[in-house]
Structure 1
Amino acid sequence: MSDLSLSVLDLVPVRTDQSTSDAIAASLALARTADALGYTRYWLAEHHNMPAVAATNPPVLIGMVASATERIRVGSGGVMLPNHAPLVVAEQFGLLEAAFPGRIDLGIGRAPGTDPVTSYALRHGAGGVSDEAVSRFPEYVENVLAMMEPEGVGVSVAGRTHALKATPVARSVPTIWLLGSSDYSARLAAEKGMPYVFAHHFSGSGTAEALELYRQSFRPSPELAEPRTFLTVNAVVAPDADEAERLALPNLLMMLSLRTGAPLGPQLLVEEAEKVEVPDAHRPLLEAMRAKWVVGDPASAREQLETLATTYGVDEVMVHPVAAAHVGTDPTTSPTREETLSLLSRVGDRPLAV
């Protein structure tokens, strides 16, 4: 475990006691904590039209987090590329890399990150209907990769070739990752010689198969000679195991609503969640989701992380700290999420290396 790198995934959760402004303030504080503790990277997700998630625009959030921190890498986990014109994504991350050289990651996914109606609204303005955007995903990835390069690409229009660059004078480019929760992105990342991340925090199944497929199919590229991968996991760590279970309950209930089609709302506080009656028919699903998470006291959580890393052959794990807040918490803070990072920051017998 002393060689295990830890990183952070943040969806900028919005609790029942928070405004969007409060949620952003809490996430900025969380990012500063991760930076000070020595975490490797801090990624922001892309989700739209969800009452409990304020991470709608990764590039905007990345700029905020990178400005509020000093050394940690900051990136997208991820940008859902079919929602956007490839040139726009390349321009955004070209500017971020120019402003924070050597600290920016561009994680790319192809899921909608939202409901079908919102997905249509997003993709109608980003290059056509949803099915077309998804089918052209490999082409979009290739376009972003090419346009991010300092020399740019040549675009042929009316018999003439025009130079197209994401930014005028690039000195460096972000590290570009493919994200996925199935074998599709694993195959594509292997084919293009790109680093790959499996969304274990969301799927929780098929992890071993996807990572093995990626490693076995990997073709070296100029940017990457060998497979490079890690996985994400939901995590709640508290001084004792019982408190960790309490802190995990609100997010578990939110995921249960998402999986069963129940109405969604802001994330509940711990005391609010403890009043919710879970139907007996839904308890097996709730328990199955919980079994995929890292929940417990520091010693137990470290053991769970070690098992994950060993099982899947990775030397980095990205934790999604989902600890809920108690009634009376300052809305601009998320102390239990910060505590999860703090308690995990001592890997083995020594702190994370900065």
Structure 2
Amino acid sequence: MTSPALSVLDLVPVRSDQTSGDALAATRSLARVADELGLRRYWLAEHHNMPAVAATNPPVLIAMVAAATERIRVGSGGVMLPNHAPLVVAEQFALLEAAHPGRIDLGLGRAPGTDQVTAWALRHGGGGVEADAAEHFPTYVDNIRTMLSPGGAGLDVGGRLHALNATPHAVSTPTVWLLGSSDFSARLAASKGLPYVFAHHFSGNGTAEALALYREGYVASEAHPEPRTFLTVNAVVAQTQDEADRLALPNLLAMVALRTGQPLAPQPLVEDAEARGLAEQHQALAHAMLGRWVVGTPDSAAKQVRELASTFDIDEVMLHPVAGAHVGAPADRSPAREATLRLLSEALSA
């Protein structure tokens, strides 16, 4: 069984012992590890108003990570398009591509990436209501792609055509991907001949069906003659299974809290998570979540990743490294997340 290429999805987690600045420093360190290991791409998410997540602004984070690395592709996983004017997104990513040509990915999503109140605050006075933004998502995608192109777009105002370019004299464009956790974006990506990623790390259900819809309905485009996709998965890798299980607990508690409507907080350290424990009524939910994660030793994790790649017929797996930290870990690094990348990369190369 062949080994897939590895990539990284980063939500810039904030632990209870970290400031936002610490979390950003830890992301820079993790990105350098991914670059050093020869991983394919490093994507940064968009989430808002969450005490354990500092990934609020993908373009800013992409600029930071691209500047801190040398060869790895850097992108958004993704920009939640209902929150933003298409021209602003096009301008941001045109500049990123100009600064780091051939290294920028623009992943676009249709979800809000936050709660309803924060979504309203994001869009007030500029983005309209969520239903309108979701309805116009296909048009917004087309607009961004056109404005990013070297020829730009023409805007008809009062019977006169006005030129609209994301940036002057563009010579290359970022690769646009569509992201989703339902069949909507799968069908849209297929119809437009775009690469597509299903949020397997978040949903875990319907992955095979979404990928089948995408592949079966794919309409070849000049830039992408064949369908192109990969898989995202939560991962924790350590030298022993017991240690991997311990390191997975902080994120597991955070995800259970999110799914059950509990108050959210910065991610606890491993020892604090163990002291808190998991409520009996949430054991089944936690067990179901863990069943979709890769948690184990290097050899067992490598086997799981190869099986995922084979099952879904993909040549790339994007890891969301969710390993927590022990008391006393350096605040400006995430040693267990870095170890997850190193150990799994080495095991897949062996």
TM-score category of the 2 structures, normalised to the smaller one: over 0.9
Return closer, same or farther for 1:277/1:338 CA change in 2, 3 Å cut-off: closer
- 1:180·1:198 contact (CA, 8 Å) conserved in 2? yes
Q: Return the alpha-carbon distance in structure 1 between the equivalents of residues 126 and 91 of structure 2.
A: 15
Q: Which residue of 2 aligns with 1:58?
A: 58
Are 1:144 and 2:141 counterparts?
no
Q: Which residue of 1 aligns with 2:339?
A: 339
> Which structure 2 residues correspond to residues 226-241 of structure 1 after superposition, within 5 A?
226-241=226-241
Q: Which residue of 1 aligns with 2:33?
A: 33
Q: Return the alpha-carbon distance in structure 1 between the equivalents of residues 76 and 279 of structure 2.
A: 36
Give the aligned residue type for 2:210.
A
Q: Return the alpha-carbon distance in structure 2 between the equivalents of residues 134 and 214 of structure 1.
A: 19
User: Post-superposition shift, 1:128?
Assistant: 1.3
User: Post-superposition shift, 1:3?
Assistant: 4.5
Q: Secondary structure at the match of 1:197?
A: strand
Q: Which residue of 2 aligns with 1:105?
A: 105
- 2:298·2:347 contact (CA, 8 Å) conserved in 1? no
User: Post-superposition shift, 1:280?
Assistant: 1.7
- 1:123·1:133 contact (CA, 8 Å) conserved in 2? no
- Report the more deviating stretch, 117-126 or 6-15: 117-126
Q: Secondary structure at the match of 1:133?
A: helix
User: Post-superposition shift, 1:210?
Assistant: 0.3
Q: Return the alpha-carbon distance in structure 1 between the equivalents of residues 143 and 233 of structure 2.
A: 30
Q: Secondary structure at the match of 1:345?
A: helix
The normalised TM-score by structure 2 is 0.99
User: Post-superposition shift, 1:275?
Assistant: 1.1
Give the aligned residue type for 2:132.
E
Are 1:251 and 2:285 counterparts?
no
Give the aligned residue type for 2:178.
L
Q: Secondary structure at the match of 1:274?
A: helix
- 1:16·1:269 contact (CA, 8 Å) conserved in 2? yes
Give the aligned residue type for 1:287.
H
- 1:234·1:293 contact (CA, 8 Å) conserved in 2? yes
Give the aligned residue type for 2:338.
E
User: Post-superposition shift, 1:222?
Assistant: 1.8
Q: Return 5+ residue gaps in structure 1 as ranges.
A: none
User: Post-superposition shift, 1:6?
Assistant: 0.3
Q: Which residue of 2 aligns with 1:178?
A: 178
Q: Return the alpha-carbon distance in structure 1 between the equivalents of residues 197 and 155 of structure 2.
A: 31
Q: Which residue of 2 aligns with 1:42?
A: 42
Q: Which residue of 1 aligns with 2:291?
A: 291
Give the aligned residue type for 1:240.
T
Give the aligned residue type for 1:143.
N
What do the CA deviations read for 1:53-104 (whole angstroms, capped 9, x no partner)? 0000000000000000000000000000010000000000000000000000
- 2:2·2:306 contact (CA, 8 Å) conserved in 1? no
Q: Secondary structure at the match of 1:287?
A: helix
User: Post-superposition shift, 1:344?
Assistant: 1.0
The normalised TM-score by structure 1 is 0.97
User: Post-superposition shift, 1:124?
Assistant: 2.2
Q: Return 5+ residue gaps in structure 2 as ranges.
A: none
User: Post-superposition shift, 1:349?
Assistant: 4.2
Q: Secondary structure at the match of 1:93?
A: helix
- 1:2·1:347 contact (CA, 8 Å) conserved in 2? no
Are 1:90 and 2:90 counterparts?
yes
Work out the number of aligned pairs and report it: 350
Q: Return the alpha-carbon distance in structure 2 between the equivalents of residues 150 and 8 of structure 1.
A: 29
- 1:38·1:345 contact (CA, 8 Å) conserved in 2? no
- 2:97·2:172 contact (CA, 8 Å) conserved in 1? yes
Are 1:280 and 2:277 counterparts?
no
> Which structure 2 residues correspond to residues 159-174 of structure 1 after superposition, within 5 A?
159-174=159-174
Q: Return the alpha-carbon distance in structure 2 between the equivalents of residues 264 and 125 of structure 1.
A: 28
- 1:45·1:76 contact (CA, 8 Å) conserved in 2? yes
| CA-based RMSD | 0.9
Q: Return the alpha-carbon distance in structure 2 between the equivalents of residues 140 and 220 of structure 1.
A: 21
Q: Secondary structure at the match of 1:319?
A: strand
Return closer, same or farther for 1:199/1:154 CA change in 2, 3 Å cut-off: same
Q: Secondary structure at the match of 1:226?
A: coil
Q: Which residue of 2 aligns with 1:190?
A: 190
Q: Which runs of 4+ in 1 moved over 3 A?
A: 347-350
Q: Secondary structure at the match of 2:108?
A: strand
Are 1:128 and 2:112 counterparts?
no
Are 1:313 and 2:326 counterparts?
no
- 2:46·2:56 contact (CA, 8 Å) conserved in 1? yes
Give the aligned residue type for 2:225.
A
Instruction: Among all aligned residue pairs of Structure 1 and Structure 2, give the percentage whose two residues are the same amino acid.
Output: 67
Q: Return the alpha-carbon distance in structure 2 between the equivalents of residues 138 and 123 of structure 1.
A: 18
